[in-house]
Chains A and B, each alone.
Chain A
């Protein structure tokens, strides 16, 4: 058990809808990362937060947004969903300082129909 909790595990929704994915980082970790894994693709970096502030953005679409709250949990909001947004979304956390490893949640499987 990595200590990172992601909810929900599975999400099925229709095109055009909006969903929110949630992540609670491992206790003591200040940094949260969101990754997307589409079919036959590697882990695509979306966005990183450190102690409530956005630190880096990767290939995140404008329809997607995220935030990290004072209690350090994070939410990833996906709106105007398209079929191509179907993917496995991972949250990972780390201490955020120094060369510390990432601890991954079990992912949220999003299916857009």
Chain B
């Protein structure tokens, strides 16, 4: 069982602020790092899947980076909007495609 940790646990930011959170994971047996966005009363939706050290992915105002050697990934949100309010989950997948999730960062964007 992989120990995936996310920080901070929760975050409140003002609309327009940029923010970032961290996901750390064991670097041994690493295969892929996933980010998911989970809105209240919905199911998690995939944002990014990253595999290579130094990988950087972007979708609109959200981007993510990956460092497999030291075992961390950052998720960045530029110019946060109220609709970005959600829990952001990361998951580390091993070579058997077993996914281990962190407990998430709960983001609240205050209008």
Question: Counting CB contacts under 8 A, is A19 at the interface?
Answer: no
Residue count of chain A within 8 Å CB distance of chain B:
28
A102 touches B34 (CB 8 A): yes
B43 touches A106 (CB 8 A): yes
B99 touches A102 (CB 8 A): yes
Please pick, from B36, B51, B98, B102, the residue contacting A99 in the complex, using a CB distance under 8 A.
Answer: B51
B1 touches A101 (CB 8 A): no
Question: Counting CB contacts under 8 A, is B110 at the interface?
Answer: no
Q: How far is the CA of A30 from the CA of B72 in the complex (A)?
A: 29
B43 touches A2 (CB 8 A): yes
B45 touches A2 (CB 8 A): yes
- The closest CB in chain A to the CB of B2 belongs to A45
Question: Counting CB contacts under 8 A, is B59 at the interface?
Answer: no
Q: How far is the CA of A94 from the CA of B1 in the complex (A)?
A: 20
A45 touches B99 (CB 8 A): yes
Please pick, from B1, B31, B89, the residue contacting A58 in the complex, using a CB distance under 8 A.
Answer: B1
B45 touches A99 (CB 8 A): no
Question: A20-50 interface mask toward B, CB cutoff 8 Å, 1 = contact, 0 = none?
Answer: 0000000000010101000001110100101
Cβ contacts under 8 Å, B91 to chain A? 102
- Return the 6 tightest CB-CB contacts between A and B, nearest first: A101-B46, A42-B103, A99-B32, A104-B43, A43-B101, A56-B98
